[in-house]
């Protein structure tokens, strides 16, 4: 098996994921997972597809992350890893689909409208 290449997206974050057989090494933007995401909850979020399919020690994952915030980047990486695992073995698909790792979250930030301070907030009304 050669390298499997997939893309994961969430909000403004884009993750280009490369999965190959290995010992369970996860590298993000040339840094270790623990150095890039110091929070345990975000590390867990990135590893979720590998944990659900029991393949954490079987593959080396390299991720190029760009855009968005740390939460969006972690979820984009999770989606990219899940898509790569589906390409590697189709039997993983029902488990990953059931956990919601293959569904792109469509929620985006609403744009600011002219004549108001935010997307929906209006300036305070003054009668006099």
Q: Each residue of 54-96: pLDDT tens digit? A: 999 999 999 999 999 999 999 999 999 999 999 999 999 999 9
CA 8, 111, 42, 34 dihedral sign is: positive
Q: What is the mean pLDDT of residues 99-128?
A: 94
Residue 128: which pLDDT band, with cuts at 50, 70 and 90?
Answer: confident
pLDDT at 101: 94
- DSSP one-letter code for 90: G
Q: List residues bridging with 7 in a β-sheet.
A: 16
Write the class of the CATH domain 4-98.
Answer: alpha beta
**CA of 67: how far to CAs of 12, 15, 43, 101, in Å?**
6, 9, 18, 20
Find, among 9, 43, 10, the residue nearest to 26 by Cα.
43
- Examine the pLDDT at 1 and tell me if it is beyond 80: no
Residue 34: which pLDDT band, with cuts at 50, 70 and 90?
Answer: very high
**The model's pTM:** 0.90
**Distance separating alpha carbons of residues 93 and 113, to the nearest angstrom:** 41
Indicate the domain borders of the chain.
4-98
In terms of DSSP bridges, do strands 13-21 and 59-66 run parallel, antiparallel, or are they unpaired? antiparallel
């Amino acid at each position: 098996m050669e390298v499997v290449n997939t893309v994961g997206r969430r909000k403004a974050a884009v993750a280009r994921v490369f999965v190959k057989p290995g010992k369970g090494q996860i590298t993000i933007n040339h840094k270790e997972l623990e150095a890039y995401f110091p929070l345990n909850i975000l590390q867990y979020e990135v590893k979720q597809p590998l944990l659900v399919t029991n393949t954490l020690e079987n593959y080396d994952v390299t991720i190029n992350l760009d855009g968005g915030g740390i939460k969006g980047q972690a979820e984009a990486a999770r989606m990219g890893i899940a898509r790569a695992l589906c390409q590697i073995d189709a039997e993983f698909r029902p488990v990953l689909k059931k956990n919601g790792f293959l569904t792109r979250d469509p929620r985006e930030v609403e744009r600011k409208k002219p004549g108001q301070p935010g997307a929906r907030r209006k300036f305070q009304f003054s009668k006099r």
